[in-house]
Chain A
Amino acid sequence: MNSTVIDRRHMMLGTLAFVGAAGLRPGFATAAGNDVAYVTAARLASGAFGILLLGADGAILREVPLSARGHDIAIHPSTGRVVVFARRPGAFAVSFEIGNKTAPHVFTPGEGRHYFGHGSFSQDGRLLYASENDVITGMGVIGIYDVARRFKKIGEHSTFGMGPHEIMLLADGKTIAAGNGGLDTTPDGGRENLNVESMQPSLTFVDAESGGLLAKHEMTGELRSLSIRHVTQDAKGVIWFGGQWEGNPSETPPQIVGSAGLDRAPKLIEPRGKGGDDLKGYIGAMAVSNDGRFIAASAPKAGHVVYVDTETAAIIGLSDLKDVCGLAPEGEKDFAASSGFGVIRYETARATTVSQHELQDIAFDNHLRRI
């Protein structure tokens, strides 16, 4: 395999630009205080699973072993603390500090719950929210954890749907957006979906403090089989979502990326061609550029990243990278994308490759987060 040396100068500029844009994400570019640029779960060269802390040049700076496959990462806004969640139906989360090599702290969602792989810190960093399954009822739960008390679980809200996947605290600091996949699963049944024929996917908005339902957009009609999986938010506050098609493959919608808001019904973006964009029915991750204007959505089964200009809701770029999934903003307008074949690539929203780095025998998992 070929490795290209990353353009370090570009990356430094990118990092500076990122810091300059920090107003969009208060506190993000502070506490790490070292060279760690990204965090991702991965399958390591040994075949075991772990968390990788990567430099901007893709070099592995630290490995944190996991007992099983991890999924997404929540990053504490001010202390550099990160939490990595188990892949569903896992029941562990691992917390550690970027700049402190003390032993990671492991916590669990409690009896009768498991994680769905995603979570989000409160803006003041005191609370952690996690997407979870109430195994008995199959309904989605937002677990609430007290960070200062070693992630003691202190409460739960409903996601008002079944099978939530990504949840995200929105920029207002008060609202949680939850992508409810609509699928019923249990740990006893492995990863099998038990209710595809009657699934009710939705995008819900939940009051982070009271747990009240602020809005619920159900996928109906021709979209009733579009399981909402991943969400992100642009600079204007619009929510962008990516789905996984669980219906007849022959009826896959031409596009599975869309936008919505509390008072705005979901609307899929227009595909580039008449035949659709051939994303093979699955969006594995979403990210927004640091200036908040561009959206990236990865389609690992198709090996594409779709870039959308939020001003026009039009696709402005589509890149090719086998098994691409992890996405993170880089610089002001660019993105980093990671793949299951150990590639980290930097590219613009016009899908122009800036540089690429490749790690041998490493498989990056679905999500990549920028420190």
Chain B
Amino acid sequence: MVLRAIFLILAAFAFAVQAAGADLSPEAGDDAVAAPAPSVGAARPEPLSHAAMVKAAITSYIIPHIDGLKAAAEQLPTAVENVCKTGTPAAQKDLDERFEKVVVAYAEVDFLRFGPMLEKGRREQISFWPDPRGFVARQLRLLLSSKDEKIAEPGALAKQSAALQGLPALEALMRDKDTPLGPGEAAHYRCIVAGAIAANIVRLTNEVSDGWEKPDGWADKLLHPGPNNDTYKNESEAAVEIVKALIVGLGLTGDLQLKPQIDPKIKLAPPYQKSDLQKAYYAASITALHQLYDTVDLESWLPPDRLWMKDWALGTWRALESSDGFGGKAAHAERDDVPTPREVFDRTNGLRNMVANRLSIAAKLTVGFNELDGD
């Protein structure tokens, strides 16, 4: 066993060296076309200031997407109620569509793991995933066997396990083929629970939205750093928070969505697989990260001799967006070939490393090696 472990470690090491070296070299791959040197005297655009980065991220990305999640979630309770009242295919289809919209909207903000999403554990409550120990199923079984209708009272579900409070628990009820949600007696209590979960998701997304947008909320905190600000002492600290979210998002996508496909030892169900939304989740994650990447425009800080990174990043986004995240081709793929899961994983990691170790430094933002997620 030890020999096997050594072999695996050495193999992993060989790959790590390859990925770290080859992926980011200017010659690597067909996307790494050397950027033309700027002509003498040609004006380069001004780098986006740290304050402008924060403002752009908040106004162009964060607030619209937080609002989008809130708006999508508000449609859930009625859709659940209709299914439970009528059980018609039309009502079921409507709930499926509205559920998908919430899942996609959540995927677009999943990596904003600071501020209102972190406070009171709201992120885990909205979307308890990954769930390698099967907490959602276990907790749901316990609740359903209790048949305690007080769960429908305002605030009751909020006192329960995070695994019961959000989208995965609702999905489990929606996809139960033995006892589907509907008007029958068998689903009576399940509908009470589903209604409570839908209402709870609305509450949570409202709280997140309010936390961002209220006067002196998190948007104000980021936009007005200074000595009296308890979180961000200057504009660079605020900008680092945004860049860290981008790094976290690339890491989460790589480790939790992509790595299980190339490492057979990992047993982790993809997000919202019961609803066949894992590809939609991947696509939303990548689209969102790309949008935030473009919004903060770290590339505007690159010196002329590092402009090849722009081309590498462009090729990488094209590869990530040409994949459906599961070995297939995306609907709007720009590449003719299908990127393999290995390539998609490697490029996601490479991009994460480039943002953390190259672009952020070029932009004079110091994202620490040790501070990122603690240990």
Using known A-B contacts A47-B21, A71-B375, A340-B371, determine if residue A197 contacts B132 with beta carbons closer than 8 Å: no
Query: Is the Cβ of A325 less than 8 Å from the Cβ of B2?
Result: no
Chain B residues whose C-beta falls within 8 Å of the C-beta of A66 in the assembled complex? 13
Which A residue's beta carbon lies closest to that of B369? A340
Q: How many whole Å from B146's CB to the nearest CB in chain A?
A: 18
CA distance A190 to B114 in the complex (A): 19
Query: Is the Cβ of A323 less than 8 Å from the Cβ of B130?
Result: no
Chain B residues whose C-beta falls within 8 Å of the C-beta of A340 in the assembled complex? 368-371
CA distance A43 to B130 in the complex (A): 28
Query: Is the Cβ of A196 less than 8 Å from the Cβ of B124?
Result: yes
Using known A-B contacts A108-B1, A300-B370, determine if residue A49 contacts B16 with beta carbons closer than 8 Å: yes
Question: Which of B16, B131, B161, B162 sits near A68, CB closer than 8 Å?
Answer: B16
Query: Is the Cβ of B5 less than 8 Å from the Cβ of A190?
Result: no
Query: Is the Cβ of A197 less than 8 Å from the Cβ of B13?
Result: no
Query: Is the Cβ of B2 less than 8 Å from the Cβ of A108?
Result: yes
**Chain B stretch 255-288: residues in CB contact (< 8 A) with chain A:** 255-256, 259-260, 265-268
Interface 0/1 of A182-193, CB less than 8 Å to B: 001011111110
A365 within 8 A of B: yes
Chain A residues whose C-beta falls within 8 Å of the C-beta of B375 in the assembled complex? 71, 87-88, 117, 165, 229, 284, 366
Chain B residues whose C-beta falls within 8 Å of the C-beta of A278 in the assembled complex? 230
Chain B residues whose C-beta falls within 8 Å of the C-beta of A341 in the assembled complex? 366, 368-369
Query: Is the Cβ of B130 less than 8 Å from the Cβ of A106?
Result: no
A110 within 8 A of B: yes
A91 within 8 A of B: yes
**Chain A stretch 126-168: residues in CB contact (< 8 A) with chain B:** 138, 165
Chain B residues whose C-beta falls within 8 Å of the C-beta of A46 in the assembled complex? 17, 20-21
**Chain A stretch 215-264: residues in CB contact (< 8 A) with chain B:** 229, 244, 248-250
Interface 0/1 of B56-81, CB less than 8 Å to A: 00000000000000000000000000
Query: Is the Cβ of A282 less than 8 Å from the Cβ of B374?
Result: yes
Chain A residues whose C-beta falls within 8 Å of the C-beta of B332 in the assembled complex? none
Chain A residues whose C-beta falls within 8 Å of the C-beta of B43 in the assembled complex? none
CA distance A48 to B349 in the complex (A): 13
Which B residue's beta carbon lies closest to that of A184? B133
Question: Which of B121, B130, B131, B133 sits near A197, CB closer than 8 Å?
Answer: B121
Query: Is the Cβ of A323 less than 8 Å from the Cβ of B255?
Result: no
A350 within 8 A of B: no
Chain A residues whose C-beta falls within 8 Å of the C-beta of B24 in the assembled complex? 47
B35 within 8 A of A: no
CA distance A325 to B371 in the complex (A): 8
A92 within 8 A of B: yes
Which A residue's beta carbon lies closest to that of B4? A108
Query: Is the Cβ of A197 less than 8 Å from the Cβ of B161?
Result: yes
A363 within 8 A of B: yes
**Chain A stretch 41-67: residues in CB contact (< 8 A) with chain B:** 43, 46-49, 65-67
Query: Is the Cβ of A191 less than 8 Å from the Cβ of B132?
Result: no
Interface size class of A (residues with CB under 8 A): 35 or more
Chain A residues whose C-beta falls within 8 Å of the C-beta of B120 in the assembled complex? 248
Question: Which of A87, A91, A322 sits near B366, CB closer than 8 Å?
Answer: A322
Using known A-B contacts A107-B2, A284-B375, determine if residue A188 contacts B268 with beta carbons closer than 8 Å: yes
Query: Is the Cβ of B374 less than 8 Å from the Cβ of A284?
Result: yes
Query: Is the Cβ of B9 less than 8 Å from the Cβ of A192?
Result: no
CA distance A108 to B12 in the complex (A): 15
Query: Is the Cβ of B5 less than 8 Å from the Cβ of A197?
Result: no
Q: How many whole Å from A115's CB to the nearest CB in chain B?
A: 12
Query: Is the Cβ of B130 less than 8 Å from the Cβ of A48?
Result: no
A293 within 8 A of B: no
Chain A residues whose C-beta falls within 8 Å of the C-beta of B10 in the assembled complex? 67
Chain B residues whose C-beta falls within 8 Å of the C-beta of A196 in the assembled complex? 121, 124, 162
Query: Is the Cβ of B371 less than 8 Å from the Cβ of A323?
Result: yes
Query: Is the Cβ of B369 less than 8 Å from the Cβ of A106?
Result: no
CA distance A197 to B162 in the complex (A): 7
Interface 0/1 of A272-284, CB less than 8 Å to B: 0001001000101
CA distance A184 to B134 in the complex (A): 13
**Chain B stretch 227-253: residues in CB contact (< 8 A) with chain A:** 230, 252
Which B residue's beta carbon lies closest to that of A285? B370
B373 within 8 A of A: yes
B353 within 8 A of A: yes
Query: Is the Cβ of A194 less than 8 Å from the Cβ of B16?
Result: no
What are 6 A-B contacts with C-beta separation under 8 Å?
A65-B17, A68-B16, A191-B373, A194-B131, A341-B366, A364-B369
**A-B residue pairs, 9 tightest by C-beta:** A323-B368, A340-B369, A47-B20, A67-B13, A363-B369, A325-B370, A188-B132, A300-B370, A67-B12
